[in-house]
Amino acid sequence: MRLISDATWKTGDPGLQFHDLINEMNCCKSDECVATNPCAEYLAQNETSCNLSSVNLMKFYDQEKGIFMIDDFVHVCWIMSTAMDVWIDEASYPTEKIEKATKTFRTIGLGYTNLGSLIMSAGWAYDSDAAREAASAITSLMTAIAYRRSTNHCSFLPPFSKWEENKKSMIEVLKTHLSSSKEIEKIHSTHKL
């Protein structure tokens, strides 16, 4: 363990993963998560893929008013989630196995950039409670938007093909996210994000 830790500290590789915790938060427990891509922003079932897309957080921060424009952020995340889901069917894949698994689970890689700039612009220390709470709230909100968009999408198209066998685990993970997202209003009023 010490050798792995030292190598990770010196080079960034190999990445160290905690299998039990990763699979505790696995939304699709029909298939185990055993690895990530090298940067670990994509963690999902074997032989799947997703396109990554990032929303620039600074586009939603009004520096004059010192506020994060939540409604605009929600709108952009909604549109991006929709576009990324459509792209699953239009993309090309390196193997038929990856194409089939990707279309089975329909994962998207919605993320954000410029968190550090947002934290500095808000006047918070990088490792402050306010900065950590803001990062947590933004991440939770983005995740909730993507899941909500997916639910809305299923009102006129069928859900991903392994939905029924993963319904329970998906709901358990979403409940965890819900408890985090309830902090958004508190953070918004306390730290003027």
Largest CA distance in the chain: 52
Contacts of 184 (CB under 8 A, 6+ apart): 70, 137, 140, 141
Active site residue 64: no
Tell whether omega for the bond before 158 is within 30 degrees of 0, i.e. cis: no
- Tell me which of 24, 32, 41, 165 is the catalytic residue: 41
- Tell me which of 24, 26, 32, 37 is the catalytic residue: 37
Active site residue 77: no
Distances (CA, A) of 133 to 26, 40, 176: 23, 22, 16
- Tell me which of 39, 64, 90, 96 is the catalytic residue: 39
DSSP symbols for 110-153: EEEE-HHHHHHHTT--TTSHHHHHHHHHHHHHHHHHHHHHHHHH
| Residues marked as catalytic | 37, 39, 41
